[in-house]
Amino acid sequence: MMDLAMLHEVLNFFYPPHCAACGAGLPIETRKSICGGCLARIERLSDPLCAVCGEPMSAAGNISLCSRCHGGTRNFRMARSAARYDPSREFEPGTLGAIIRHHKYGRDQSLARALLECVGDNLPYRSGDHDLVIPVPLHRQRLRWRGFNQAALLGIDIARRLDCEFDLTAMMRGRATPPQTAHDHNARRRNVRNAFRVAHPRRVAGRRVLLIDDVMTTGATADECAGVLRQAGARVVDVFTLARAR
Ligand SMILES: [Zn+2]
Ligand SMILES: [Zn+2]
């Protein structure tokens, strides 16, 4: 009889594992998707952060809110991310951006595991903080093309870690939106306006929701989703994304 660990090694022998970020070979007995070097280079977010959206702030000032959160009102209570990444370095092997780009535009579901390894122990929420984990939904067409929703894959794992209910279908994407390519927050907000709806308001009413996405840039998508969840009666909406773009 071959146990699972042995089977794993045999598969790795025939299909040698490679780092999802830099492509370097990994030891055949590994269960990791990213090499130690790439993992160590991932930039973690550290204080001071905007108290609401988690944007890194300069240490010099004594301000606790970024300019976007200061002026307006966010629909979410707080947003946090595990790591920081620079979208302009997406084509540089060995960066978190490289994994995210492969993951976003490819159809390789196994990269989800690499992304979870990037989260590591950097989950800023604790078990008991929320009642429900909801991923930012993909539009049907995109889902059909890619075959999976990367936010949902992250969400399933996070819900399991936080011992929290996971709900894939409470919120839907009613309208396909072009990819968020604009840099300007207001343009990004317009792009996702009315794109989401809560299909099952009873499942979110009165509950504390943790919304999951892979990347947060200005927070426009997260804010739009949080808005519809709040309208459907969610008591509070917090956000977690794997990466924070700068
Ligand atoms: Zn690597
Ligand atoms: Zn902020």
Token pair for residue 130? 């929320």
Residues, CB within 5 angstroms of ligand 1 (ion): 19, 21-22, 24, 35, 38
**Who contacts 129 (Cβ-Cβ below 8 Å, separation ≥6)?**
162, 208, 210, 238
**Nearest CA to 86 among 42, 35, 150?**
42
Closest ligand to C-alpha of residue 72 is 2
From first to last of the 246 residues of the chain, give the pLDDT tens digit: 667 777 767 766 667 788 888 888 988 888 888 899 988 888 888 889 999 999 988 876 667 899 889 877 899 999 999 998 888 877 788 888 888 777 666 656 666 777 788 888 878 899 999 999 999 998 888 777 777 788 898 899 999 999 999 999 999 998 777 777 777 888 888 888 999 999 999 999 999 999 999 889 889 999 999 999 999 999 999 999 989 987
Whether the bond between 17 and the residue before it is cis, its omega within 30 degrees of 0, is: no
Domains, the chain, with CATH or none: 1-41 (no CATH), 44-245 (3.40.50)
Ligand 1 centroid, distance to 134 Cα (angstroms):
30
* Distance (Å) from CA 15 to ligand 2 centroid: 44
